[in-house]
Structures are given as structure tokens and as C-alpha cells.
Structure 1
């Protein structure tokens, strides 16, 4: 087995699982402040009100995850 084959197998195995968090609750998206480029995962926000940006104090905007990768990027 060559090193190239080993690397390919490792990369293929690591990309098969879309559950990146390992937890039981999945993220629906994240809150963003586009002016400051700050992001807060929806699972880290308590309550139903959008959080305020820690940099500028403005209300953050919710954006949904694409869903296919498990990432709210």
C-alpha cells in the first residue's frame, strides 16, 4: 500500500460522515453580523430573540445552513 493510497482512504473516510458536531442536536444555521464578520451558532443562543453582535451591538441576522454538509458556513 502506497502512501498516496493511504492518504486517499483517510480523506474519503473523513468526508463520509456529515455529522460534524458529534452531538444529538443539529444546527439549523447561524447568526451573522456582516459588518463585523462575527458568527454565532444557533445552538449557542438562548431564547428566540436574535443575539446582538459583541463588536458593534447591532442585532445579528439568522442564515440557514445548506444542510448537505452539516455546516452553517
Structure 2
């Protein structure tokens, strides 16, 4: 009986959210340097801080956040 109650309790628990709650819709990526900056953290133009190249925007999809 304890096994059934343990399974019920495990299924009833809420799963933690993988995404931070700050309105982030994705991240900017530098393909040359592999630098990533979340859109919520970006200040100004999307330019790579390491090489100065323009960064591309990539939306996050699913539960796996690009954060």
C-alpha cells in the first residue's frame, strides 16, 4: 500500500519550471565565438562582446531554455 501512495504523491507533485520568469523569448548567438546572450540581458545592439560581429537571434522552443 505504501508503494501506491508513494507513486500517487510523486505524480501529484508539480514539476519545476526550467525557464526563468523574466519575459525572455530567446537569445542572441555569435556563430564565430559561440557566445550567447539572453535577450533579457542584452543592453543595446546585438554585437558580440568578444569579436564585435553581429549576433543572430534564436527563439527558444519547448521546455529546454537557451538560458
What is the root-mean-square deviation of aligned Cα atoms in Å? Answer: 2.6
**Residue aligning to 1:39:** 36
Q: When you count helix as a share of all residues, which structure comes out higher? A: 1
Stretches of structure 1 that go unaligned for 5 or more consecutive residues are: 1-8
Task: Give the Å deviation of 1:27.
Answer: 1.3
Task: Give the Å deviation of 1:70.
Answer: 5.2
Residue-pair matches, total:
58
Please give the alpha-carbon distance, in whole angstroms, between the structure 2 residues aligned to 1:31 and 1:42. Answer: 6
**Bigger radius of gyration, 1 or 2?**
2
Stretches of structure 2 that go unaligned for 5 or more consecutive residues are: 1-9
